[in-house]
Amino acid sequence: MKLMQKDLLKELPSVSEVLLEVPDEIDLHRDYVTFIIKRSIARFRKAARKGALELSRGQIKAEIVAEVARYSRPSLTKVINGTGIVLHTGFGRAPIHGEILNRVARRLEGYVNLEFDLRTGKRGNRLEHVHDIIRAITKAESNLIVNNNAAAVLLTLNTLAEGREVVVSRGQQVEIGGSFRIPDIIRKSHCVLKEVGTTNRTHLRDYEKAIGPDTGLLLWVHTSNYIVKGFTKEVPLADLVALGKRKRIPVMADLGSGALLDLTALGLPREIPVRELVRTGASVITFSGDKLLGGPQAGLIIGKKRFIKKIVSNPIYRAVRCDKMTLAVMEEILKTYRSRQVSERNLALTLLSTPRSILKTRGEEILQAVSKEKKDILGLSLVESTVEAGSGSLPVEKIESMALRFCPRDRKVSELAQQFRLSAYPVIGYTANNIFYIDLKAILPGQIQQLTETIRNI
């Protein structure tokens, strides 16, 4: 029989009691430990008031100490991405190769020449560490890098058109995610939104009619995260650039994902390469560094030298510039690019371009390493699948993959998914039609053995 509420509340230990139980090896700030304990006691107090507390005083203390121990471990940890989405926002988008991270860690230990010119002994510019390689690969006159593409868009808009009108097609007023919408970012940049055309059709004459004395910028947005089919019309960027030159108005292009090469050479769906937009003569082009480029979270701004110079001089730039870690990782990622291909150290593009045949071989190796009894209990089999690149990249065509399929006999699918998430090597898959899947597309080759062990231990 459950105790009365008053008696249940008496079972709750004090903060000082629990503190005495916390092992010395848990090396956390005492105030943080106290915070965790107070929060846990509050949770148990809430249960006691509802008459739902069935633990003894000792058990409660043990659970709270276990909670403190859990929070003493790093919150950010490696996971096995079985969703099939390589550029998964929840998992940090583009994965970074361990060799690159190790090289960067060795280079950044202690002090570095972030803003110091070793040749002259004078103050340097942090952008110089990646400027030349970005310029060479993209063929743009100049460039800079900030902490993400949202910052790149905001900074560019504010610099080139603050207090003036930004002309953009209604069909290109996209929402990227996390409520980041082009109309909102234009307003937050202290610019005036000037809409032209309709949702599905915009003509060059629409832009021409919209241009007036208050026009500061023509904005072209690549709708990389969706497609409109049917009765549609979109003005090519080259035509918009030609109009901008005639009217002496700068043209900005937001590419979004930012593919630095022709992805079809890697067996992937086509995406507009950055160089293709550079050839149009656009004043400024913005795109992400952690999507199809395969690098760390960053936003790249490339284009005409006079506009880039103006953007760098904007005080907002200092608020959104990159730190030494981002610049170091970006430098390494950019060096993975070859003329028509990328090194295997560019993990994002390597995973995206791994053919189904190789994934099938990996899946068969996993099945062979799992006992027949275990496969029967878990209802484990290997099936063909299709996935998306993720983060709004390459949204139109699916990418071929293979997946492990689970139809467990002895537990609910939701319970199985939780067991995988809470295992020694956390595995995150997905559920569809009451079937649990672990897709192999986004699983690193070095994680196959870990995944196999996890399946054996479930």
Q: 252-261, pLDDT tens digit by residue?
A: 999 988 899 9
| CATH assignment of the domain containing 130 | 3.40.640.10
Q: What percent of the chain has pLDDT over 70?
A: 95
Q: 218-229, pLDDT tens digit by residue?
A: 999 987 655 666
Sign of CA dihedral 305, 308, 312, 313: positive
Q: Does 324 score more than 80 pLDDT?
A: yes
Same domain assignment for residues 260 and 303: yes
Instruction: Report yes or no: 390 and 88 within 8 Å, Cβ to Cβ.
Output: yes
Strand boundaries in 192-334, DSSP class E: 192-196, 215-221, 251-256, 284-288, 299-303
Give the dihedral of Cα atoms 101, 102, 107, 108; nearest 10 deg: 60
Cα separation, 94 vs 270, whole angstroms: 18
Give the chain's length: 458
Instruction: Report yes or no: 401 and 430 within 8 Å, Cβ to Cβ.
Output: no
Same domain assignment for residues 42 and 185: no
Domain that holds residue 392: 80-89+350-457
Instruction: Using DSSP, state whether 196 is helix, strand or coil.
Output: strand
Residue closest to 127 by CA, chosen among 271, 281, 279, 318: 318
Same domain assignment for residues 84 and 68: no
Q: Which of 307, 334, 361 is the last residue of a domain?
A: 334
Same domain assignment for residues 61 and 199: no
DSSP secondary structure code for residue 282 in this structure: -
State the pLDDT at residue 2. Answer: 46
Instruction: Report yes or no: 86 and 389 within 8 Å, Cβ to Cβ.
Output: yes
State the pLDDT at residue 338. Answer: 87
Residue closest to 160 by CA, chosen among 267, 297, 312, 265: 312
Same domain assignment for residues 325 and 453: no
State the pLDDT at residue 1. Answer: 37
Same domain assignment for residues 143 and 215: yes
Contact residues for 295 (Cβ-Cβ < 8 A; gap 6+): 94, 96, 289, 329, 330, 333, 334
| Cα-trace Rg, the chain | 27
CA angle 379, 353, 448 (to 5 degrees): 40
State the pLDDT at residue 6. Answer: 67
Same domain assignment for residues 209 and 311: yes
The answer to whether residue 362 sits within a structural domain is yes
Burial of 100 (0-12, 13-18, 19+ CB in 10 A): buried
Same domain assignment for residues 362 and 296: no
Same domain assignment for residues 305 and 366: no
Q: Which of 276, 305, 334 is the last residue of a domain?
A: 334
| CATH assignment of the domain containing 414 | 3.90.1150.110
State the pLDDT at residue 175. Answer: 77
Instruction: Report yes or no: 387 and 85 within 8 Å, Cβ to Cβ.
Output: yes
CA terminus-to-terminus distance, the chain: 35
Find the helix packing angle between 324-334 and 128-138, rounded to 10°.
Answer: 30
Q: Which of 334, 364, 394 is the last residue of a domain?
A: 334
Contact residues for 213 (Cβ-Cβ < 8 A; gap 6+): none
Cα separation, 289 vs 258, whole angstroms: 7
Same domain assignment for residues 252 and 270: yes
Cα separation, 403 vs 397, whole angstroms: 18
Q: 414-433, pLDDT tens digit by residue?
A: 999 999 999 999 999 999 99
Q: 340-380, pLDDT tens digit by residue?
A: 789 999 999 999 999 999 999 999 999 999 999 999 999 99
Same domain assignment for residues 323 and 184: yes
Residue closest to 82 by CA, chosen among 422, 404, 424: 404
Instruction: Report yes or no: 403 and 439 within 8 Å, Cβ to Cβ.
Output: yes
Cα separation, 337 vs 352, whole angstroms: 15
The answer to whether residue 341 sits within a structural domain is no
pLDDT mean across residues, the chain: 92
Cα separation, 108 vs 106, whole angstroms: 6
Cα separation, 387 vs 400, whole angstroms: 7
Q: 236-279, pLDDT tens digit by residue?
A: 999 999 999 999 999 999 998 889 999 998 989 889 999 999 99
Q: What percent of the chain has pLDDT over 90?
A: 81
Element (H, E) at 413: helix 413-421
Q: 134-192, pLDDT tens digit by residue?
A: 999 999 999 999 999 999 999 999 999 999 999 999 988 877 666 678 899 999 999 99
The answer to whether residue 344 sits within a structural domain is no
